Chain A
Amino acid sequence: MRKHRYTLWLVLAIIVLAVYAVFNFKFFSGVSHGERRVTVILETLNVQLDFWQAVHKGAEAAAKEMGLNVSVEGPLSEEGADAQIQILEAAIERKPHAIVIAPIKDDRMPAVLAKAREAGIKLVVIHSSPNMQPSPVVVSSNHFEAGRLAGQTSIKETNGHPVLALISDNENSAVSEERLVGMQLALADYKDSLMGIYYADQSEDRAYLIAKQLITSGSPINTFITLNESASLGVARVLKEQNRADDIRLIAFDSTGDEVQLLEAGIIKASIVQKPFNMGYLGVKTALKLIEGDKTNPITYMESNVITKENMYTTENQKLLFPFINSK
């Protein structure tokens, strides 16, 4: 009887202690993630490039929401693989909890990323998937899906008779390759729809010459798909000059200021636009999940929007095309 009573007491004591523990745990769990440091390394920090600026903003939004300490870095000009590797190595030295990186394609990159991983830093790759084993966690636009959207749009715009030429940057670009594959899948049912794939690197002039050559040679092409800005501008110039904007459709990717104007003018029929803000946001959020040890998807894809002249001023698309309120 006496033992029983004291067992009761002990149980009561344990309950009380449990309540106390929960109470304290609630205190501790309320502590923000301020001490969690995440470094975000972009392809470039160039303020002229809205795409990366939007990624930057997205990362900051995530940092604010989750109470993380995020620093965003990157080379000041695009194409700076050396500069980016340098920045990455410096970041590894500082040992943040996680690195979110949009790696510039370079042969040395996988080794440096492996180094970061060895240092116990969680790795999230955004925008593209690198060639490394085991594959890191990726947060990226679904380029394959974007390519498919472009293909579908071309079918729709030509009322089911697409005859198209594709102008890409170069053969090594993984992003362009994925887009191409997606597009080819969409066009699989249309025989001989793809007249040719051309590479113009980042040169507007080269794209211009390719397009001019194609048009003036009397080829039956009715659609151009351009995978980067310079190609879009080059083709648009030809179409304007040759006054063929009405019968030759131009389907572009992404949305720089010039492209927006061309879209508004109806020269670019449609543009497949990524969501860079979301990429930055989800990149950092995924990094936090990795740090906390939560389950994450190995690849997080973001869809792209097909933007035409008609829908470019909807609330959502406006934000995509003009991500910055202060832009003039």
Chain B
Amino acid sequence: MLKDRFFPLFPLKSIQSHISLAFSLLILAAIVLTSLVSYQVSVAAVERNSKGYIEEIIKQVNLNIQSYVDNMENISLLALTNKDVKYYLSDNSFISEENRRTYEKRISDLFQAILYTRKDIASIMVYGYNGRFVSDRRITSLNPNTRLQDQAWYQMAKAAGGKSVISAPHVQNLIENEYRWVVSLSRELKSTDGITAEGVLLVDLNLSVINDICSNINLGQKGYLFIVDNEGNLVYHPQQQLIESKLRTERIKEVLQVSNGQSFVVNQGDGKRIYSVQDTNFGWRIAGVAYTDDLITSKDDLRNSIIFYSLFGLAISLLISIGLSHRLSKPIKVLQSDMKQVEKGNFDIQTKIGQMNEIGQLGRSFNLMVSRTKFLMEETIRNQENKRKSELLLLQAQINPHFLYNTLDSIVWMAEQKQHEEVVLMTAALAKLFRASITKDQELVPIRVELEHITNYLLIQKMRYNEELRYEIDIDESILGYKTLKILLQPFVENAIYHGIRNMYGIEDGRITIRGRASGDQIVFEVEDNGHGMTPEQQGRLLFSNEEDNRDQGIGIRNVDERIKLYFGYEYGIQIRSEIGEGTCITIVIPKLD
């Protein structure tokens, strides 16, 4: 049902439309495939490029943050090596209470001087295990509710034993009424012997510095950057609160697993994105996340150009396919119209053969076929004509006026001689002869009839030649039922009488023998005489001469041969064997027909 309704939409009647459809589809498929592949390739290229680009950005961020951290480190080294700080914190008592104020002022001045040059540093403080405390501020009131020992940076510094440690971002609540987001670098200070711990130095970096660096990075519209520490805790993330409230997940585990400088691609949740990871040398990992959609800024152009070129290619390919299919189907169409001509009966047509391809060969075969058909038709026409002619000749033979005249003359002569019996016999034989041959509608008669006919004929001839004609008929009884052409033997007997034995020194010495027998699936007749015989030239003339030449010989030998061949085929016919002075034997071969 569907098919019926569907197919008329595509009137795929001609080979041309078939071919063009097939071509178009093939080309369409090829174009689609090519566009897909080219899109994939360009996307892959963009991704590859952007990976490098993100990596560069993250490296820059890394360097920036690194420089801040290095700076903190330098400040800490500066404080560490400062003699005032050392003395101030050392557990010995060579700093008196009066001197203490001076030391505090000098250290505070030093810290302040550093802070002036570095806007990124929030504060610098030193705590001595001896209870002394100095910060970059002259007057510092510590937050009474804060216990130093609970602070992560303090604990970490003690644990690290002299090495500097970087804390996670946190709110620094050491100073009363001051809550700042900072990243702390802390370090335990050793006494001059390098073993005894004397205090902790704290350098706070404003987190806004890192925040600004990270939030100002442009990784496309949706791209962002985040930092995790060694344990996988978030140091910075634009949506840290969402992640902590479990409203959002981040691929921290993967980021920790990837080695430095590597990247990986995630294609889940909200779109395909590239994670590029860099290690800092203080234990953080920076990960840049870029969405591929964002990165392919010329995506629309890419799409439009691919669609445009696809349509363009499609149009061209349609034209080409129509043209090509036309070219291919044109010779077929020509052949088709030539065939139509033949259908109408024009056999003189010969189709033009272009290239010798399959269609050319088809054309050649067609031409051969047409010419062969033409030949066969002409031959059929010719054969029909010949048949008619031989029938006419047969008719003539049946009523050979010469023979009739002679016979009647003999009858008259016999009547004058009062040979009544002979007259009756001869007249009866003549009547039988004619009756036998007059059955016109039947071309084929049983051999029995033919035998009767030739017997009558020989009877008449014998009476004409005053009983001097000697003959013998030897026909196998078993073949009497088979069919033969009528008046087959008469011309040969006639020939034997007129040209064989009549002109002999005495006809009474002449003898005609007629034999008939079966041989395989053939029937062979022989008409033999012992007359003059014939020269090969005469034999040839007998078989191949024009009909006009032997008109007087009645129905010609040649004519009989032709009739046999027309009716039974070319393998049948007559053979002449003759020698001068010895006689002639003519063999007639016809098929065995029931």
Binding site for B on A (CB under 8 A): 3, 6-7, 9, 12-13, 16, 19-20, 23-24, 27, 30, 32, 34, 58, 61, 64-67, 257, 260-261, 264-266, 275, 277-278, 281-282, 302, 309, 313, 315-316, 318-323, 325-328
Docked-complex contact B32 and A278, CB < 8 angstroms: no
Which residues in B have some Cβ–Cβ distance to A below 8 Å?
A: 3, 7, 10, 12, 18, 21-22, 25, 28-29, 32, 35-36, 39, 143-146, 168, 170-171, 173, 177-181, 207-208, 211, 221-222, 224, 233-234, 238-242, 244-245, 247, 270-271, 293-294, 299, 303, 307
Q: Does the CB pair A275–B245 fall under 8 Å?
A: yes
User: Which one of A265, A313, A325 contacts B211 once the chains associate, using CB atoms below 8 Å?
Assistant: A325
Most chain A Cβ neighbours within 10 Å, of B143, B211, B244: B244
A16 in complex: contacting residue of B18, B29, B145, CB < 8 Å: B29
Chain B nearest CB from A274 CB (Å) reads 11
The reply to whether B245 and A322 form a contact with Cβ atoms under 8 Å apart is no
The 9 closest A-B pairs by CB, nearest first: A316-B244, A325-B181, A277-B241, A27-B303, A264-B145, A30-B293, A325-B211, A322-B171, A16-B29
Q: How far is the CA of A321 from the CA of B180 in the complex (A)?
A: 12
What 14 new A-B contacts, CB under 8 Å, besides A19-B32, A265-B144?
A23-B35, A23-B36, A24-B303, A24-B307, A32-B222, A64-B221, A65-B270, A264-B173, A278-B241, A278-B247, A315-B168, A322-B171, A325-B207, A325-B211
- CA of A278 to CA of B240, assembled, Å: 10
Known contacts A264-B143, A275-B241; A9 and B21 CB within 8 A of each other: yes
CB nearest neighbor in A for B150: A313
CA distance in complex: A102, B247 (Å): 21
CA distance in complex: A326, B234 (Å): 18
Contacts of A67 in B (CB 8 A): 221-222
**How far, in Å, is B158 (CB) from chain A's closest CB?**
18
C-alpha spacing A63/B226, complex, angstroms: 18
- Give B124 Cβ to nearest chain A Cβ, in Å: 17
Cβ–Cβ contact B180 & A13, under 8 A: no
In the assembled complex, how far is the CB of residue B37 from the closest CB belonging to chain A, in whole angstroms?
11
Q: What are 15 A-B interface contacts by the 8 Å CB criterion?
A: A7-B3, A19-B32, A32-B293, A34-B221, A257-B179, A264-B145, A277-B242, A281-B247, A282-B247, A313-B171, A322-B181, A325-B181, A325-B211, A326-B211, A327-B181
CB pair A328–B178 under 8 Å, yes or no, is: yes
B12 pairs with A6, CB closer than 8 A: yes
CB distance from A51 to the nearest CB of B (A): 13
Decide if B28 touches A13 in the complex (CB within 8 Å): yes
The smallest C-beta distance from A224 to any residue of chain B, in angstroms, reads 20
Contact of A61 among B21, B239, B307 (CB under 8 A): B239
Query: Among A64, A257, A282, A327, which residue has its beta carbon within 8 angstroms of that of B222?
Result: A64
Residues in A whose Cβ lies below 8 Å from that of B245: 275, 278, 302, 316
The CA of A66 and the CA of B248, in the complex, are separated in Å by 13
Q: Which chain B residue has the least Cβ–Cβ distance from A323? A: B241
Q: Is the CB of A9 within 8 A of B39?
A: no
Q: Is A266 in contact with B179, judged by CB distance below 8 angstroms?
A: no
B-chain residues with CB within 8 Å of residue A282 when the two chains form the complex: 247
Q: Inter-chain contact count A-B, CB under 8 Å?
A: 111
Complex contact A260–B179 (CB within 8 A): yes
Shortest Cβ distance from residue B266 to the other chain A in the assembled complex, whole angstroms:
15
Least CB separation from B10: chain A residue: A6
Q: Which of A64, A275, A313, A320 contacts B173 (CB 8 A)?
A: A313
How far does the alpha carbon of A194 sit from the alpha carbon of B173 in the complex, in Å? Answer: 36
Expressed in whole angstroms, the Cα–Cα distance for A302 and B245 within the complex equals 9
A12 touches B25 (CB 8 A): yes
Q: Which residues of B contact A61 (CB under 8 A)?
A: 238-239, 242
Distance A284 CA – B170 CA, assembled complex (angstroms): 28
Measured between beta carbons, the chain A residues less than 8 angstroms from B35 are 20, 23
Instruction: List B contacts of A27 (CB < 8 A).
Output: 299, 303
A326: which B residues are within 8 A, CB to CB? 181, 208, 211
Residues on A with C-beta less than 8 A from B207 are 325
**Cβ–Cβ contact A319 & B244, under 8 A:** yes
Question: B208's contact among A23, A24, A319, A325, by CB below 8 Å, is which?
Answer: A325
A64 to B238, CA, bound (A): 10
Contacts of B181 in A (CB 8 A): 322, 325-327
Contacts of A13 in B (CB 8 A): 25, 28-29
Residues of B within 8 A of A260 (CB): 179
B242 & A261 in contact (Cβ 8 Å cutoff): no
- Do A265 and B32 have beta carbons less than 8 Å apart? no
Minimum C-beta distance from A307 to chain B (A): 13
User: Which residue of A32, A266, A319, A328 contacts B180 across the interface (Cβ within 8 Å)?
Assistant: A328
Contact partners of B247 in chain A: CB under 8 A = 278, 281-282
Contact residues in B for A315 (Cβ distance below 8 Å): 168, 233-234, 244
A309 contacts which chain B residues (CB < 8 A)?
145
The answer to whether A65 touches B25, judged by C-beta atoms less than 8 angstroms apart, is no
CA distance A65 to B223 in the complex (A): 8
- Assembly CA distance A265 to B181 (angstroms): 19
Give the distance in Å from the alpha carbon of A61 to the alpha carbon of B240 in the complex. Answer: 11
How many angstroms between the C-alpha atoms of A302 and B221 in the bound complex? 28
B145-A278 in contact (CB<8A): no
Which residues of A sit under 8 angstroms from B12, Cβ to Cβ? 6
CA of A134 to CA of B270, assembled, Å: 32
A132 to chain B, nearest CB (A): 27
Note all chain A residues with C-beta closer than 8 A to B222.
Answer: 32, 64-65, 67
* B196: min CB distance to chain A, Å: 31
Q: How far apart sit A282 and B245, CA to CA, in the bound complex (Å)?
A: 12
Q: Report B482 CB to chain A, min CB distance, Å.
A: 53
Smallest Cβ-Cβ distance to A61: which chain B residue: B239
